[in-house]
Amino acid sequence: MPEVRWLRASYWVGAVADAIVGVLMLFPRAGRTIYGITDFEPGPDYRYAMGLGASLMLGWTVLLLWADRRPVERSGILLITILVIFGLASASAYAVMSGLIALPRMIPTWGFQAFLVALFSYSYFLTGRLPKEVTLGTAGR
């Protein structure tokens, strides 16, 4: 069913994106390069905070892959993930407003986040059109 394929694609795109961000959090030099941050050497407090964040991002990666195992039943994970994306976008806005990251460097990230919100929303709402027997757990098996 095309609807289930959209869900599964959403889970996988989200999982890959979260895994990449989690790795960037663990290796601050990579993130510093991507966002053009100069004159920044992360101290223990920053590394601790990023370690906490990375564990959550990598955990969310696993959560999305878990949702893929029963894509229709667990489609609500996509709505929860949209809330997480809004939180990440808000943190990015703070980074821009505080002068840590230049606005032009953040625009591609916000564009990708907007794409994810659109993809996840579309995929989730498509499942409302599925026949009742598919939504009861027979999809994706």
Q: What pTM did the predictor assign?
A: 0.83
Q: What is the DSSP letter of 129?
A: G
Between CA 40 and CA 99 the distance in angstroms is 12
Looking at residue 129, what is its pLDDT?
66
The model's pLDDT over 28-67, given as tens digits with 9 standing for 90+, comes to: 888 788 888 877 788 899 899 999 999 999 999 999 999 9
The model's pLDDT over 106-141, given as tens digits with 9 standing for 90+, comes to: 999 999 999 999 999 999 999 876 655 554 455 444
> What is the average per-residue pLDDT within 83-102?
95
CA distance from start to end of the chain? 12
Q: Domain ranges in the chain?
A: 2-138
